[in-house]
Structure 1
């Protein structure tokens, strides 16, 4: 059984890559520097998160149709913008690197764990481009 990554762990990864504050991404701001990472977080949450579009919307303070629109925007943009693709791929690799501690593929010797309180660990390592 594969455990899904909680949405609240996806947001900090996206915010770090885009260099924005999580409160701004979850807030009402409509500037592109906040909407782009917000939509990527929606997309990642839909792909790897543990909840429905409605639950993702609740987490981000949005309606499920807004989440759906954001997911569609990211999907449409992938493959057309190399810089955007690279950022999204970096985020995907970081999210996928989150593994349950009880995962049989868990290896001792990886970098210091984060988010251990809920039973997950970031395995780290260099991001492949």
Structure 2
């Protein structure tokens, strides 16, 4: 069993909390940009920074127009991706399949939905 990490000084703890808040804000902005169509899923998957790497794939799908929790779970199951998988843990084939499923750059175009095609508003 691993030893617990050493205790942090109040200054170290404050810096860690501030950094965590910054990362959450950056992730929130990225997901909002993805939802609004200002960036594409390809843009996100091509980024190599740690913030993107630690983002859950499920959250990327859920922020897409017309994709909620149920449909995101269905896509992940169809692709063989765990609901707790993070972007950094995706294999090259899984990334390619995600991009096949969501190749669009505009949120108003149609995309494949298991069981049919749906027009996204």
Q: TM-score range by the shorter chain?
A: under 0.3
Larger radius of gyration: 2
State the TM-score, normalizing by the size of structure 1.
0.26
